[in-house]
Every structure is written in structure tokens, then in C-alpha cells.
Structure 1
Amino acid sequence: MPRPRKNASQTEGEADPGLLGLPAALIDMIDPALPKTSQVYGIMRHAIVNLHLSPGSSVNEKLICDQLGISRTPLREAILQLQSENLVAVIPNSGTYVSRIDLQSVFDGQLVREALELKVVRLAASRMTPQFERALDFNLHRQHRMWSDHDYTEFYKLDEAFHAMICAFGASAYVWKIINSAKAQLDRVRWMSYPLVSHLDVVLKEHMAVVDGLKQRDPEAAA
């Protein structure tokens, strides 16, 4: 795979946008008390999915290590995880690049997600508890608030947390881990649609319908 070309609007001497590293909002997120690799993976994945690191851009390992105050080892381990999800491509004698969005992977991710989540939400409906109802209501309340504020970043986080909660309750956190890995390419497409208010309306209404079905202990209505 050849090194990605510069954009037509990018003149000689200008910095490649992909070499600018991580956005400031993500830099202070490393907790020294927790394993570094998983944290770096989460930060990098967030930056790629939210298009802070754009498709085709170069990953500047040295700059990112300097920004996060880490050695190369946790970053490279995180890159291996991202590579397994087809979010980055490691090119020998060239470097690491953010992968282009692959439509087949988007389709596959949607297929895996729908199949597993439909099963999980049915299981969750059969074992609902008052405590879990309250947790869902709290998440949904916050989704409404972020929707009203047009805070797409926080809405996305709550959207992810909503599905992760149901997976953990209906089956296990491991099931969400499988889904999360399979939908990596899909997530970038989802993020691009978030600024569309009509899309957020649809997502919010779908979540409300899921919660209503779960509260009724009705597997089919929840699914």
C-alpha cells in the first residue's frame, strides 16, 4: 500500500494534518494507576472514530507519546489492537496510517451488531429489575439533555453506554467487547451522521422504544 498522497489543497511545506497528533481534549486522559495500553487504545480509537485523526492520515507515534507522556510500548500495543479492527494500517518502512473507511467492513459490523444485540435485548427483557430500569432512565434522561444541547460528543458516549449497559445486563461485558470490535468501521460512519438532527431524533426514539419494551418485560417489543 503506497503512502497516502497529500490533499490537493495542501502545498509543499505545510504540515500533514495527520501529523498534528491528538486533540488537546484527549491529552490529559491517562491515569497512571491504570494499565496504559488499554487507555491509549481507548484514546486512539476515540480520536479515529470521531475523525480527529482523519482517514488516510499518518500516525505520528513520537508526537503522541510526547503528548500522553508514555513510552512507545503501550502505543504500539494499542496500535496492534487498532490494526486488528482495521482502524489503522501498519506499512513496513513507511509508517502507521489511519485506515480509509471500508464499506464492506461497515456492512459486516452492522450485521454482527444487529444479530448480537437483538439476542441480548431479549435476554435483558426476561430478567429486568427495578435497579436496571432506573439506570436506563437516567441514561435516557441524559440523552434527552444532550440532544437538546446539540452536544454530539456526549450524546455519542451515552449512546455507546446505553448499548453497553444492556449487553452487560442481558449477557456479559464480553459480548459488548465483541460487538465493539466488529463495529469499528461502522462507528466512523455513525459519527459522521451525528450532526444531523433528524438522525439523533431517530436514535433517541429507538432508545425510548427499547426501554419501554424492557420495562414491559416484552422481548419482542424491546427488540
Structure 2
Amino acid sequence: MQQRRTLPRPGATPASAATIYETIRTDIVRMRLRPGERLSENELGIRFRTSRTPVREAIVRLVDDGLIEVWPQRGTFVSRISLKAIKRARFVRSALELGIIREAAERGLPETAFMEAERAIAEQREAGNDPNRFTDADDKFHRTFANAIGYGDIWSIVESQKTQFDRIRFLSLPDVTPVDFLIVQHRAILDAVRAGDAEAAEKTLRAHLSIVVETTIALMRTNPDLINDDVDEN
């Protein structure tokens, strides 16, 4: 079910460009604003109780993120999901996170980190087919390992690269990508780290991260209006 977009409370002060940017970005990532949907500066100004200037500033940032396209004489639209950006994000995430999980397994983690990861898995089970709750718990699980070995700042690089990645997650959950399968993989990763088996942890994580590209290609065949096959573009 599509969720209602966040609206300002009556009498609220006008939103800043940063707030508008974060709100629209979240709406796009979480598929409340769908690829191809048209955006009106006037309607956004009314929604955020502000002038068009901060709205335009937010739109410029979203264009830079690849989430919005502005076409002269046609209007402003939510961009289709980019297969090229998905593959780039998977590459960046794999390069960083595989190193993190290997070091976590080799060094060992404090029990508090294992407890945090266990809580994240429990939250995923509780979330079930709710993509918002499941994705939050999913991110918490992966972030736990980076934080536990003192590389939380590296995780912020992953976060900055995975916007299109996240759009696919919200588009695919739970119908295309069963949450139970993801939880099984998370459990295997955690067990391997606890056992100090770096090879098994890395192998399982590699397979886990490959799912997003496979899912994107499958969805692209059935939803060409939502996903852009731009891999071969210069």
C-alpha cells in the first residue's frame, strides 16, 4: 500500500531547502513518488508552506543525485531508476563492505555488537512484509559491523552511494525479494563472523549483495517505465 507523503502540520514554519530536499528524497527512495511522476514547484511550495526559491534549491540537489530530471518546456519529473547507478552502488558497497565483514570476522567483535546484530535480525522478522521497517532494520544490521570495528565513517560512504540501490529495495520488497530469504542470509553472515570464518562471511555477503542487480534486471523486463537500462550509455 502506498504511504501518505509527509505533510507539514497546520501553522508550521516554512520548510528550509534542506528539509524539502530530505523529504522529497525520502519520498522518492521509498517509492512514495514513483519514477516518471511529475513534480510541480507551485504544489511543492504549497506543501512545504514556502516560496519557490528553497523548492528550486532542493530540486537542484535532487537533480545532482540523479533522482529528478528537469526537461525544458515539459516539466520536472522523478527519474527512472538507473541500472548503471545500481551496478556502481553495488561495486562501491561490495568493495567496502566485504572488507569490513572480513576484518570483523578476523578481529572478532564484542558481545554487544553481536547483540545489536541479533536485535536487527529480530526487527526484520517483526517487520515482515513492511518494506519501511524491514529496510531500516536491514541497514541497522549491516551498519553494526562497520561501527563495531570503528569504521562507522566508512559506512557513511556506502550510504551516499546507494540511493538508487534503496529504490530497488522498496520496489522489490516483499513480492520480488522474499524477506525470509534475506534474513537467512543475514543469519549466515552473522554466524560466520561469530565463528571467525572470514571466508564464509565474505562469500555469503557477496551473494547477498548480488541480489540487487539480479532483481533490477528482472524488474526492468516487467517495468521498463520504471527502470532505465543505461549501462551502455556513455
| TM-score range for the pair, normalised by the shorter chain length | 0.7 to 0.9
Alignment of 1:181 onto 2:172:
no
Equivalent position SS for 1:158: helix
Equivalent position SS for 1:26: coil
Deviation string for 1:152-195 (max 9, x for gaps)?
A: 22112211222233333345343223222322222222222112
Once the two structures are TM-superposed, the CA of residue 93 in structure 1 deviates from its matched residue by 5.9
Q: Answer with 51-60 or 71-80: which moved more.
A: 71-80
- In 1, Cα distance between the equivalents of 2:75 and 2:194? 50
Equivalent position SS for 1:97: strand
Matching residue within 19, 44, 63 for 1:83: 63
- In 2, Cα distance between the equivalents of 1:27 and 1:169? 37
- In 2, Cα distance between the equivalents of 1:98 and 1:25? 15
- In 2, Cα distance between the equivalents of 1:166 and 1:73? 41
2:111 aligned partner, one-letter code: P
Alignment of 1:124 onto 2:124:
no
Cross-structure match for 1:47: 27
Aligned residue pairs, count: 197
Cross-structure match for 2:80: 100
Once the two structures are TM-superposed, the CA of residue 115 in structure 1 deviates from its matched residue by 1.6
- In 1, Cα distance between the equivalents of 2:100 and 2:115? 19
Normalised TM-score (structure 1):
0.73
Residues 158/68 of structure 1: CA separation in 2 closer, same or farther (3 Å cut): farther
Once the two structures are TM-superposed, the CA of residue 207 in structure 1 deviates from its matched residue by 1.0
- In 2, Cα distance between the equivalents of 1:164 and 1:75? 32
Structure number with greater CO (CA < 8 Å, separation at least 6) is 2
- In 1, Cα distance between the equivalents of 2:148 and 2:21? 25
Alignment of 1:191 onto 2:152:
no
Residues 61/121 of structure 1: CA separation in 2 closer, same or farther (3 Å cut): farther
Residues 216/28 of structure 1: CA separation in 2 closer, same or farther (3 Å cut): farther
- In 2, Cα distance between the equivalents of 1:174 and 1:61? 35
Cross-structure match for 1:165: 144
Cross-structure match for 1:143: 124
Normalised TM-score (structure 2):
0.70
Deviation string for 1:44-85 (max 9, x for gaps)?
A: 222112221111222223333433445555544443333232
Matching residue within 185, 208, 223 for 1:206: 185
Cross-structure match for 2:209: none
Alignment of 1:112 onto 2:92:
yes
2:193 aligned partner, one-letter code: L
Residues 62/113 of structure 1: CA separation in 2 closer, same or farther (3 Å cut): same
Residues 74/157 of structure 1: CA separation in 2 closer, same or farther (3 Å cut): farther
Q: Runs of 5+ in structure 2 lacking a partner?
A: 203-234
Residues 47/140 of structure 1: CA separation in 2 closer, same or farther (3 Å cut): same
Once the two structures are TM-superposed, the CA of residue 202 in structure 1 deviates from its matched residue by 1.9
Cross-structure match for 1:5: none
Q: Percent identity?
A: 31
Q: Runs of 5+ in structure 1 lacking a partner?
A: 1-21
1:145 aligned partner, one-letter code: E
Once the two structures are TM-superposed, the CA of residue 86 in structure 1 deviates from its matched residue by 1.0
- In 2, Cα distance between the equivalents of 1:123 and 1:39? 37
Q: Answer with 54-63 or 150-159: which moved more.
A: 54-63
Deviation string for 1:86-123 (max 9, x for gaps)?
A: 11123456543211122222222222211211112223
Equivalent position SS for 1:90: strand
Once the two structures are TM-superposed, the CA of residue 25 in structure 1 deviates from its matched residue by 4.8
